[in-house]
């Protein structure tokens, strides 16, 4: 009888230990889930606080942007910059002034970068998620102005890329017909794009020199290098298309020369026949 009780006790002990193990497992599981949830909540709160604290002042209204720049002490005619069809870069007192023009309906993307404030004017507002990707960079000294400058540069590059693809498609169509007027128009458009990209690549190099503290590219070196590579690649492709247009023009000139020679040959034959007829009539 004692042996039976001992066995029953052992079975109940094992069963009890199993129940305790399962209970502890579920407690641990729910505790880990709670810790994970709490960590995510703290992280999202931290991101939100960082984003709010480092909020960049953006404007879609030029008058409000100009007024904010004047309140910072910037004495410059910003309106005049919007009429210049070039990429503008200038250090004025403690401000860095940039106008990164693209191919949008309103091509101006103006930046006024100071020691403590960053103002950005564009009718194409940037998404909040773009800032959050660089939330850690924005906590660095001049990280805020570095990020907004990079985002504006990246958006302009996207505009240049779209413009190139559009012109490239148009050139493929013109190549089939060899219409000289359309080819000349495309040549002008490609040369204008090449000039913009030349200025753009030059601007990237100036900013990389780090002679202006407002844009410190070492914070975003990987993304900045990718952007520089894309810009140079698009510039090279644009120049290749200009050379391609030159080749197509040569082909058109050869065809026109051949047609002219055919006409001259035809006229020579007509003159010979008329001469022969004239001689016969004189006889």
Query: Which tens digit of pLDDT belongs to each residue from 148-174?
Result: 999 999 999 999 999 999 999 999 999
d(CA 39, CA 45): 10
Q: Give the pairing type, strands 57-59 and 118-121.
A: parallel
CA-to-CA dists, residue 9 to 12, 18, 21, 22, 165, angstroms: 5, 14, 18, 20, 81
The answer to whether the beta carbons of residues 171 and 241 sit under 8 Å apart is yes
Tokens 């001049």, residue located: 142
| Across 141-148, average pLDDT | 91
Task: State residue 53's pLDDT score.
Answer: 41
| Across 245-252, average pLDDT | 86
d(CA 110, CA 126): 13
d(CA 165, CA 189): 12
Lowest mean pLDDT: which of 163-167, 248-252, 253-257? 253-257
Strand partners, 98: 89, 111
Structure tokens at 146: 């570095």
Structure tokens at 207: 């900013």
Structure tokens at 176: 């089939």
Give pLDDT tens digits for 198-248: 999 999 999 988 778 899 999 999 999 999 999 999 999 999 999 999 888
Task: State residue 223's pLDDT score.
Answer: 95
**Pick from 137, 150, 124, 138: which is nearest to 203 by CA?**
150
**Pick from 148, 170, 183: which is nearest to 255 by CA?**
183
Q: What percentage of residues in the chain have a pLDDT greater than 70? A: 78
């Amino acid at each position: 009888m004692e042996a039976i009780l001992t066995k029953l006790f052992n079975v109940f002990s094992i069963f009890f230990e199993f129940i305790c193990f399962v209970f502890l497992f579920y407690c641990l599981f729910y505790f880990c889930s709670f810790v994970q949830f709490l960590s995510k909540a703290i992280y999202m709160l931290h991101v939100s606080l960082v984003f709010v604290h480092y909020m960049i002042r953006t404007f879609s209204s030029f008058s409000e942007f100009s007024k904010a720049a004047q309140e910072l002490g910037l004495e410059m005619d910003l309106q005049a910059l919007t009429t210049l069809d070039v990429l503008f870069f200038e250090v004025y007192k403690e401000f860095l002034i940039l106008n990164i023009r693209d191919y949008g309906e309103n091509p101006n993307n103006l930046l006024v970068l100071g020691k403590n404030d960053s103002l950005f004017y564009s009718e194409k507002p940037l998404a909040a998620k773009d800032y959050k990707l660089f939330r850690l960079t924005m906590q660095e000294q001049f990280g805020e102005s570095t990020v907004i400058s990079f985002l504006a540069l990246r958006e302009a590059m996207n505009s240049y890329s779209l413009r190139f693809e559009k012109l490239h498609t148009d050139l493929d169509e013109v190549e089939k017909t060899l219409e000289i007027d359309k080819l000349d128009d495309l040549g002008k458009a490609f040369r204008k794009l090449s000039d913009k990209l030349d200025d753009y690549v030059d601007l990237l190099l100036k900013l990389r020199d780090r002679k202006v503290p407002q844009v410190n590219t070492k914070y975003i070196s990987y993304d900045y290098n990718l952007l520089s590579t894309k810009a140079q690649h698009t510039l090279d492709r644009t120049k290749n298309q200009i050379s391609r247009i030159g080749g197509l023009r040569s082909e058109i000139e050869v065809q026109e020369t051949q047609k002219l020679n055919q006409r001259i040959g035809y006229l020579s034959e007509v003159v010979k026949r008329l001469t022969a007829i004239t001689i016969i009539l004189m006889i």
